Each structure stands twice: as C-alpha cells, then as structure tokens.
Amino acid sequence: SGSMENTIMTKSRVIGSRLSYLTDDPERGDIVIFHYPDDESVYYVKRVIGLPGETVEIVDGKVYINGSDTPLEEPYLPEPMEGSYGPYTVPEGSYFMLGDNRNYSNDARRWMHKYVKRDKLVAKVLFQYFPKIQKLN
C-alpha cells in the first residue's frame, strides 16, 4: 500500500531478516514486517516509533516521546503529518508503529489493537530489491 511512501513505494518488493530480532531488540526507526494486530492473517510493514514502556504523543503533527520538549526528527516523512493523537503508553513487550506516509497510513493511531507484540514481529526490512535495489534500514 502507499502507507510507507516514499520509503517503500506501492508494488515494491523488500527483503527482511527473520533473524534480526533473535539477538537484538527492535530500535526506533526500524522498518518491520509484522502480523497486523487487528487481523493476524495479514502482514503489515511500518516503522517502529514507540518502544516498550514509552509514551508516544502526536501534537500538531509532531511525535514526542515521554513528554520530551523536542519532537522526533523524521527526515523520511514525505510531507508534514496533520493532527494530534494520543498519548499512547506502549505496554512492555510491545511496539507502536506508524507509516511514513502518515496522512494516508492505516497505522497504530487507527487500529483497534494499538500495539504490536514482540512475538508478532516477522522480520526487519533490510533492502528493497524491486523496482530498484536500495538499503532501507
């Protein structure tokens, strides 16, 4: 879908590593393939924004973690995000995911089950191989 544009364009193909999170924890900014929390038969690709135990709040389109005065720096966004959301407190063992194309993304802000449990992470996206080869994470 277009939710990760311009990082991953519609109909692009990616390669993810299922081994990445066997020894390492996901980090903020990782692009991840996971089971969609509202229908686990569907795979989604989004970016990790909130880590376990953190509070995520979006104010006037900017993301703040744990009440910081400084918003996240997100150079990958194709346009400024609109709106205010949250706050969301991420449960232990879970992650808060957002698409890069925020104004058109079906992401945690809109899901019934807001958080992705660690055991539902499938792979860390490493490369796009079609239509062109490029490193993503």
- Decide: 26 and 124 in contact? Cβ < 8 Å: yes
The candidate with the shortest Cα–Cα distance to 58, out of 92, 94, 105, 25, is: 105
| Residues labelled catalytic | 3, 46
SS3 for 45? strand
Task: DSSP letter for 3, please.
Answer: G
Calpha distance 114→107 (Å, rounded): 8
| Paired tokens of 98 | 């957002």
